[in-house]
Structure 1
Amino acid sequence: MDDESKRVLEEMQNVLEKLLSGQQNNATEVHTLIPELQTLAVQINQLIQNLNEMNRLALDLSQGKLDGPHPPRHNYMASPLKELHSQLSTLIWGLRQLRSGYIVGKLDGPGELFDIFNELVDQVMAASTREAGSIGNSNIPVPFNSWRYHQILKTLDLLHVSVLEVDGSGHVVYANHSAKELFGDIDDISGQTKSDMLGLIAKNITISKEENTFPVSREVYEERNNTWYWVTSNCFLLPTGQVFYFNTIEDISEWKINKYQLKISATVDEMTGTYNRKTGLRELEKILARSDSSKTYCIAFVDIDGLKTINDNYGHSEGDYTIKTIAKVLLSSIRSSDMVCRYGGDEFLIIFKDCTEEVAETIITRMYEKLNNLDRKNPKPYTLSFSHGVTPFSNNPRPAYRVADLLDLADKKMYQCKNQKKQKKAKGKPHDG
């Protein structure tokens, strides 16, 4: 063995002797060029750190201290001590709950400490459910510190639903934690200005008492908080004959938003923001079912020019750009009463309400102009264009058109427009749009 190895091993031996004798040790600094000995030094330093952390935790536990620092997760040697610390903390929490008058369930843990604690819980439960005499001359039993009552109150405090219990005069006899956060400190729900909700609850109770319609539930929007609630009021009768009213108030704003988004997703084409085909056809059916003979409507069938060529030559990302861009132009050009829906991959259906064919053509001409401006401002190796066919209709005379007939007429006019463009292109003439 060379001198350097002998020196390093002696330093490590001294460190280990101190550890075995119970002395506190700091990390040792060993400088060596031998990789194996350097690795061993690192491991010994880790061992020193782990033992110091264990000793500190063990000393805290022996002195009854549970708020000291914990060894980190990677210190596996301290796992039994950390488990003991967790068990003692759980027991102390349970004892504090009992001391404060709360009732707790039995704790699942090993050893005599938990056995004794659970026996104590059994005794408290038995004592809390015994009858303690009666009120005055009545024969109504008076349970003191009812075990079940405490369990119910504990559960209600954990709910995200607000719970408010009032007596017949509107005096608040119980509010769970969620209700206190919502309403603050309140003694009476009648004549309150803090929350429109309290006035509504009072109204629910009054009306339901008169009509005997309990339970009653209502969906309510409170404007000042921009929040939707589901409010339920019910009543119950105590053996003494006293009536109480139990109210639950649940914030359903997120549910309302999700419901709205689901409704939107069922009617709107996700890619373009236009209505989808099903919604457009349903709207057309409604229009045809009306008996309004004084209005004229138009539908326009729109088909994007050369989308397959764009996809094949420039990629589907450019094809998607074309579809989205033309959809934006259609949406930005129509009137607020009109509707655009995506009928197919490269096809759109426009419903013009209370509109003549001339007005519809004027609006579509504006669409072509917008596309031409886009082509000039943001030139692409292809042209943004579409072909269209407009069909006017009304419900006079009856019977009305069928949806399929209208779509067929508009589709034929659209193909006439497309063929005219092809003929002009073949002749070398520019086409409109």
Structure 2
Amino acid sequence: MTEKDAHVLLGQIQSIITNKPVTGQLESDAPVYKELQDTVSYLSRHMLKMNQQVTRSKGLNSLFLAIINSLKDWVVVTEEKTGKILYTNDLVKNRFYNMDTGRFICGDACGLMDRLQSPGKIEGRQKFEYQCKQEKFFQVESHRVQWENTSAVIHLITDVTFQKETEAHLEVMAYKDELTGLNNRRCCISTIDEYMKAEPIFALCMIDLDGLKTINDQFGHLNGDQYLTCVSRELKESVNQGDFICRFGGDEFVILYRGLTEEEAEKRLAIVNQKLAANPVGYSMSFSYGIVCIKKEMDLLAETAIKIADEKMYQFKRMRK
């Protein structure tokens, strides 16, 4: 090999090392040198292609991580076999768990993280809900992924605490009367059905306020609302734990007294009427009522029991006129 060919070959090797295309050509036309030149050219092309793939892969990884960090979900990646934490996005680091220090933001050990780190193979997609000690709710969706040549699981964690609290509030509001705070008609029928199945005996009381329309017409609807809230308050004081009371609608209320006969329930309602009559509000307050004593063996429908109590209540009202 001539000195010139040696310099050309050295330059080509340096180009390969520095990831640059090779230049120049060996002058010698001997077969061994031609084969050497072909090998160097092949090695150069292969290294350039491999480096391009690596560069592209790094770019894709950077893009992938940027997308993960832009998500509103917390993202935790764990090794499938061991449960070791491989990655957490910025939201996790800022609001949940700092991977560098191994500390949780809330200061306590976390059952959710213990569950995420449980090793084991998952099939397809897995979803579950988790409630932590801090009364927060999370939805977790887990998928198997290949993470840097490692079989891993990516967990997408969504804080749904506000959503759960809103749903719970709406559910309560759906069964509550806004003015009195009592249960409303919506849950009355189902509660009567439950009592019929569970209670050996209970008194169903249908209650209707006397003269509410007159109060509204003469004193205004604010006084009418005051009348309703005052009666509901006194009725509520007459029930024990396990009893049921609701504003059935308009000026009507329903009470279920557990374990009481018709006579015992009538005594309670009579006492409430006495208290209302003693209220110095500038107008008279009272109510009429009908009572049905229901026993398990009677096998009544809830609607039938209400209808009977309603008829008795109107009989009572007519007797007082």
Task: Tell me the TM-score normalized by structure 2.
Answer: 0.75
* Letter aligned with residue 304 of structure 1: L
Among 183, 202, 207, the residue aligned to 1:302: 207
Change (3 A) 1:310 1:257: same
Once residues 231 and 177 of structure 2 are traced to their aligned partners in structure 1, the CA distance between those partners, rounded to angstroms, is 14
- 2:23 aligned residue: none
The Cα shift of 1:239 comes to: 8.3
- 1:161 aligned residue: 73
The answer to whether the 8 Å contact 2:276/2:286 transfers is yes
The answer to whether the 8 Å contact 1:132/1:144 transfers is no
The Cα shift of 1:324 comes to: 1.8
Among 49, 55, 58, the residue aligned to 1:146: 58
- 2:110 aligned residue: 195
Q: How does 1:383-422 map to 2 (within 5 A)?
A: 383-397=284-298, 400-422=299-321
* Letter aligned with residue 199 of structure 1: D
Once residues 408 and 304 of structure 1 are traced to their aligned partners in structure 2, the CA distance between those partners, rounded to angstroms, is 17
The answer to whether the 8 Å contact 1:170/1:188 transfers is no
The Cα shift of 1:160 comes to: 2.8
The Cα shift of 1:311 comes to: 0.8
Among 86, 109, 112, the residue aligned to 1:173: 86
Change (3 A) 1:329 1:213: farther
Change (3 A) 1:194 1:403: closer
The answer to whether the 8 Å contact 1:131/1:144 transfers is no
Change (3 A) 1:183 1:338: same
Change (3 A) 1:195 1:404: closer
- 2:132 aligned residue: 222
* Letter aligned with residue 395 of structure 1: K
Residues 1:231 and 2:140 are matched in the alignment:
yes
Once residues 131 and 239 of structure 1 are traced to their aligned partners in structure 2, the CA distance between those partners, rounded to angstroms, is 20
* Letter aligned with residue 173 of structure 2: S
Q: How does 1:302-321 map to 2 (within 5 A)?
A: 302-321=207-226
Among 250, 253, 259, the residue aligned to 2:161: 253
Residues 1:262 and 2:170 are matched in the alignment:
yes
- 2:27 aligned residue: none
Once residues 295 and 116 of structure 2 are traced to their aligned partners in structure 1, the CA distance between those partners, rounded to angstroms, is 50
Once residues 215 and 149 of structure 1 are traced to their aligned partners in structure 2, the CA distance between those partners, rounded to angstroms, is 23
- 2:45 aligned residue: none
* Letter aligned with residue 99 of structure 2: I
* Letter aligned with residue 145 of structure 2: F
Q: How does 1:197-216 map to 2 (within 5 A)?
A: 197-203=112-118, 205-206=119-120, 209=121, 212-216=122-126
Change (3 A) 1:158 1:384: farther
- 1:32 aligned residue: none
Change (3 A) 1:346 1:151: same
Deviations for 1:201-235, whole angstroms, at most 9, x for unmatched residues? 123x53xx2xx444221111101x22111122221
Identical residues among aligned pairs (%)? 26
The Cα shift of 1:350 comes to: 1.2
Deviations for 1:163-216, whole angstroms, at most 9, x for unmatched residues? 111223233221111111233322699xx963221112123x53xx2xx44422
CA RMSD of aligned residues (A): 2.7
- Aligned residue for 1:390, secondary structure, equals strand
Among 177, 185, 189, the residue aligned to 1:277: 185
The Cα shift of 1:319 comes to: 0.8
Change (3 A) 1:255 1:339: same
Deviations for 1:7-61, whole angstroms, at most 9, x for unmatched residues? xxxxxxxxxxxxxxxxxxxxxxxxxxxxxxxxxxxxxxxxxxxxxxxxxxxxxxx
Deviations for 1:40-88, whole angstroms, at most 9, x for unmatched residues? xxxxxxxxxxxxxxxxxxxxxxxxxxxxxxxxxxxxxxxxxxxxxxxxx
Q: Kindly tell me the number of residue pairs found equivalent between the two proteins.
A: 269
The Cα shift of 1:162 comes to: 0.8
* Letter aligned with residue 159 of structure 2: D
Unmatched 5+ stretches in structure 2: 1-47
- Aligned residue for 1:235, secondary structure, equals strand
* Letter aligned with residue 310 of structure 1: I
The answer to whether the 8 Å contact 1:229/1:252 transfers is yes
Instruction: Name the structure, 1 or 2, with higher relative contact order (CA <8 Å, separation 6+).
Output: 2
The Cα shift of 1:258 comes to: 1.0
The answer to whether the 8 Å contact 1:171/1:187 transfers is no
Among 318, 321, 327, the residue aligned to 2:232: 327
Once residues 154 and 260 of structure 2 are traced to their aligned partners in structure 1, the CA distance between those partners, rounded to angstroms, is 56
Once residues 51 and 267 of structure 2 are traced to their aligned partners in structure 1, the CA distance between those partners, rounded to angstroms, is 90
The Cα shift of 1:281 comes to: 1.4
Once residues 357 and 201 of structure 1 are traced to their aligned partners in structure 2, the CA distance between those partners, rounded to angstroms, is 58
* Letter aligned with residue 298 of structure 1: A
Change (3 A) 1:199 1:370: farther
The answer to whether the 8 Å contact 2:238/2:268 transfers is yes
